[in-house]
Structures are given as C-alpha cells and as structure tokens.
C-alpha cells in the first residue's frame, strides 16, 4: 500500500474533475469542467490527449459500444467513435450547468447539475437511459457531486456538497429509498466532493478545500486519510490495468495562491482495489 502521491499529469486545470478509467482504451479520462476540456492519460505509455468541448463538461463516461456519453451544460450528449455527436437529452436551463455523473450497475447514467451561483436547491440528480428517457431522482440538490454504488449495487452513496455529508440510499433497479447520512465532514476539514467505491465496499471521498481523500468503511468509520498537496481535491477513481491505482483530480479555481500542483492529475499507486465501472448502455 503506497502512502505517497505521484504526479500523473502536471497541469493547471481550472476545475479538474471526473477521473474515469476506460478499460476499452486503457486510458484514464479526466476533465477540466470550466476549462471545457476532456483529457486522457495512458499510464502504460505516458501518452496524453486533450480535446475541447463547446460547453462546460461535468462528466464523461465510456459507452458500451464505444464512444462517450457527456454530461454537458445544456444536457447529455453522445459522442460516437467516429466523432459524430448528438444530444440524448437537451435541456438548457439558464444559470445551471452539469456537474458529476456516474453509470449505475444497470448501465443508466445518473447525471448531476448545479447552478453557477450554487443557489440552494437549484440542481438535480437525474437518471438517463440509452433510449433517452430521463427521470429526476433528486429534484432539489445544490451541488450534485459524488455518486457511487456498493459492490452488490444495493446501496447508492451520494454527495450534495454543501450538506457536508455523504448519504446512503437503498437502491434497486434505478429506484432509491431510505436516505440516511453515512458520514458528516467536520468543520475545517473541507467539503465532500467526488467519490468512488472500492471492491471492499469502502467509500473514498475527495475533500474540496480539505486537501485530502478519505476512505470510509460501509459503516461510516474513517479508515484512511490520504493527504493531497492541492487544497481543492475534487474527485478520485481507481484505474490501471488491475484497478489498483487511485487517480485524484484537483482544481485551481477561486484560489489566489494555488499550490503548484493544483490542477494536476495525481495518482496513488497501489492504493487499493477498485471495482470495474459499468459503461453507459446507449
């Protein structure tokens, strides 16, 4: 188990987010939401790619048949392997943008939004399927963030950042019930942001303004703290051929004197054992 981080990609992302391992390409996808960029990093070769998007991009996930699904400011779009793009669900809302998203065990996309002014209750968490059907799961979210499922898919872990909590729901086939707090981040430790669930069912939570990633057990016990040099630690995901390396994204936005590594993609080699993440069916 490694204690120290490594710099996978030195960068100056305004809002580095959305680390996602793509097993089909052997690359880690990660984003700069406000910079409107989708990056990839191949750990086997060190090769990096970067492309711009026309809108702020909150999340990007692989699709089962190849290509990508994108949670964009004005809705959810599909990018085919040949570069063709079409909207799956186009819903521009003035003052609102996309934020984090995750693919559920059934292959649906659970996509979050937030208001640019972070107005309370101005965001949502919605479930989208490949046929374009959209269902609002949580209507009055402020900053829809970390979203992940237990290894058996029967629990959903979810973060609405200003609550300072990681909540847990019962989950069955796209339906959730019984919301309850799993952990509460104490004052001064930052705010919960992105999250990922490992093969033991433990929840790794990135702490915005906390400069850390914490691992919690399924019972909400703090199991491990990984310090990150950049205060605005935004998200984390396991990657690498065996899903044992923890990738961590960071941000510079809003900081007058950011750490030199703020905005870079970091990695903790051998941090744990991740779960294979489903691709979007659509």
* Rounded least distance, CB 248 to ligand LOIU5U6P, Å: 13
CB atoms within 10 A of CB 93: 14
Pick the closer one to ligand LOIU5U6P by CB: 104 or 251: 251
What is the rounded distance in angstroms from the CA atom of residue 32 to the CA atom of residue 58? 8
Does the annotation flag 245 for ligand binding? no
Residues 231-250 binding ligand LOIU5U6P (CB under 6 A) are: 234
Residue position matching structure tokens 């101005």? 122
> 39 near 59, Cβ under 8 Å?
no
Paired strand residues for 30: 39
Concerning whether 223 is annotated as a catalytic residue, the answer is no
Q: Is 41 helix (H, G, I), strand (E, B) or coil?
A: strand
Does the annotation flag 17 for ligand binding? yes
Among 193, 196, 216, 278, binds ligand LOIU5U6P (CB under 6 A): 193
Does the annotation flag 131 for ligand binding? no
Applying CB under 6 A, the site for ligand LOIU5U6P has a residue count of 12
Phi, psi torsion values for 163, nearest 5 degrees:
-70, -15
What is the rounded distance in angstroms from the CA atom of residue 97 to the CA atom of residue 20? 20
Is residue 158 close enough to count as binding ligand LOIU5U6P by CB under 6 A?
Answer: no
> Nearest 5 degrees, angle CA 243-CA 235-CA 46?
50
* Rounded least distance, CB 208 to ligand LOIU5U6P, Å: 5
Summarize as ranges the residues that interact with ligand LOIU5U6P (CB under 6 A): 15, 17, 33, 99-100, 143, 145, 161, 191, 193, 208, 234
């Amino acid at each position: 188990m490694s204690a120290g981080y490594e710099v996978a990609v030195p960068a100056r992302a305004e809002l580095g987010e959305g680390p996602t391992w793509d097993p089909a390409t052997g690359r880690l996808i990660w984003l700069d939401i406000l910079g409107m960029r989708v990056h990839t990093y191949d750990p086997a070769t060190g090769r990096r790619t970067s492309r711009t998007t026309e809108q702020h991009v909150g999340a990007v996930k692989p699709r089962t048949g190849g290509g990508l699904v994108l949670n964009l400011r004005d809705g959810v779009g599909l990018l085919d392997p040949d570069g063709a793009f079409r909207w799956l669900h186009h819903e521009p809302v003035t003052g609102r943008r996309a934020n984090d998203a995750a693919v559920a065990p059934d292959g649906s996309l659970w996509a979050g939004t937030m208001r640019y002014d972070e107005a309370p209750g101005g965001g949502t968490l919605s479930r989208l399927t490949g046929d374009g059907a959209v269902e609002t799961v949580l209507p009055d979210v402020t900053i829809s963030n970390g979203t992940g499922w237990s290894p058996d898919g029967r629990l959903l872990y979810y973060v609405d950042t200003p609550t300072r909590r990681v909540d847990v729901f019962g989950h069955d086939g796209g339906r959730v019930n019984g919301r309850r707090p799993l952990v509460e981040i104490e004052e001064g430790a930052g705010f919960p942001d992105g999250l990922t669930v490992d093969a033991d069912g433990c929840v790794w939570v990135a702490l915005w303004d906390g400069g850390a990633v914490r691992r919690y057990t399924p019972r909400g016990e703090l199991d491990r703290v990984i310090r990150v040099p950049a205060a605005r630690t935004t998200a984390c995901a396991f990657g690498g051929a065996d899903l044992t390396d923890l990738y961590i994204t960071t941000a510079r936005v809003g900081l007058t004197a950011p750490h030199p590594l703020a905005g870079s993609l970091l990695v903790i080699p051998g941090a744990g054992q991740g779960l294979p993440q489903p691709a979007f069916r659509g």
